[in-house]
A and B are shown apart, each in its own frame.
Chain A
Amino acid sequence: MGWDRNQMAARAAQEIQEGFYVNLGIGIPTLVANYVSPNVHATFHSENGMLGVGPFPYDDGVDADLINAGKQTVSELPTSSYFSSSESFAMIRGGHIDLAILGAMEVDEKGDLANWMIPGKMVKGIGGAMDLVAGVKRVVIVMDHMTKNGQPKLLRKCTLPITGAGVVNRVITNLCVLDITASGFYLVELAPDVNVDEIANATDAIIHEKTVQEN
């Protein structure tokens, strides 16, 4: 029932359109690159200073100087470019990146996002996430619908310190696809064998089934 990690990544890959420059976050978002249609030309950006991120290298092509923002070894393409961190974030902040696909701990119905700390318990740090959500044209979150302990992650209001306010456009979970609209969460798509009641029970916010705004 629902989507597994790879199916969520495959669904997220459908968000990538021809000609897009795309930044992928750590975790499930990194898998998205594996599912982009060969008919779509997209360029992946890594905030540590690379455009045209290639697939993982072959064993004999591993290079310590060539990593993605998740610190994983990657490969270069014939069209790749490298640049400094300030140049990289100029691309992000300046609105030159079309789409960011990121993970999250919480998302609320206003489009606020929390993904960097749990006060007193866990601090992963901010990394590039705050710049990405503030500057990238469209932000899609890929995450499990609930925590490992069965708590909702889609909320009326984020409880954790936020990464950005009103920045999320769409959420892809293991159960469904939701858009953030002026009226809150709007159900776009259900994963196989999932019904609306399950979504409602797993969400601490109202799920709208029909959009109130023209899209």
Chain B
Amino acid sequence: MNTNSSKVFADARSALDGVLFDGMSIMAGGFGACGIADLCIQEIYKKEIRNLTVISNNCGGEFTDRPGKGFGLWILLNKKRISHAICSYIGTNKTFERQHLNKEINLELSAQGTLAERIRAGGAGIAGFYTQTGVGTITSEGKEIRKFDGQSYVLETGLTADLAIVKAWKGDTEGNLVYRKTAQNFNPMMATAGRITVAEVEYIVGPGELNPDCIHTPGIYVQRLFEGRADKIIEQRTVRQRDSG
């Protein structure tokens, strides 16, 4: 019997069973609507846990053509379930911007690369690192500045979370994951930095079906996975026309 088949769960509900609690920290993969673990987010929403700390590049988003409707972490934000957010970008997420400006949410804005590296460091057991990004800006206020070869760098710390929810294209029963195109983004680092990592994968395949040379996230980082295919959202559908000639 495959000893690792215990990682495979039937759906988001069973995969998240017993791991959700008030006041927990959750890392959520994705860049905008691309590569988000949407079924996991919907299950977290249904469980009505509150006072969450979320670590994610965006905090979901709002549909510009459908006022009052949003996707991804926005559904948690809209119900004020998130008290603390570590993100890089707000963009057109008016609910997020309003809650931040009204101080209803504690927002820690991080440069995107610094956020990515903080998560990578957290998952790799690195407490902190020095980067030039943000030196001289308000994001480096109160942080240690140190010179290396005459250049100033700011100390940034690693991040981990109680739970990471990641979205992959394919996964096998061992939890090895492969991402698809730019839906990869923050998912691989977050998989390493969750005390429990739950992977929402489009297709679960059997042992031997993934090329070991092409695995993005080795299964050691993934405690639970389930197969599910939420509708994919396109924020800006931009196309070109075929030449008529």
Contacts and interface: CB of A to CB of B under 8 A. Distances in A.
Given A71-B34, A93-B133, A65 B111 contact: no
Contact of A126 (B34, B88, B131, B216): B88
A189 to B, nearest CB: 29
Contacts of A89: 112-114, 116-117
Contacts of B234: 62, 64, 67, 73
Contact of A128 (B33, B113, B187): B113
Given A55-B240, A71-B34, A82-B182, A123 B90 contact: yes
A46 interface: yes
A65 B187 contact: no
Interface residues of A, number: 54
Interface stretch (A129-137, A173-181, A196-204): A129-137
20 contacts: A49-B184, A49-B185, A64-B33, A65-B181, A72-B238, A82-B184, A83-B184, A86-B117, A86-B120, A88-B113, A89-B113, A123-B97, A123-B109, A124-B91, A125-B87, A127-B112, A128-B112, A130-B112, A135-B113, A163-B137
A71 B239 contact: no
A162 B140 CA distance: 11
Contacts of B189: 84-86
Interface of A: 46-50, 55-59, 62-74, 76, 82-86, 88-89, 92-93, 112, 120-131, 134-135, 161-166
B185 A48 contact: yes
Closest 4 CB pairs of A and B: A89-B113, A165-B136, A131-B113, A64-B232
B138 interface: yes
Contacts of A71: 31-34, 235-236
A67 B141 CA distance: 33
Interface centre among A85, A123, A134 (most CB of B within 10 A): A85
B5 interface: no
B98 to A, nearest CB: 10
B112 A47 contact: yes
Interface of B: 31-35, 57, 87-91, 97, 100-101, 109-114, 116-117, 119-120, 131-139, 169, 179-189, 216, 232-242
Nearest to A121: B101
Contacts of B119: 86
B116 A65 contact: no
Contacts of B117: 86, 89, 93
Contacts of B187: 84
Contacts of B186: 84-85
A123 B89 CA distance: 9
Nearest to A47: B112
Nearest to B236: A72
A131 B133 contact: yes
Given A67-B32, A134-B134, A82 B238 contact: no
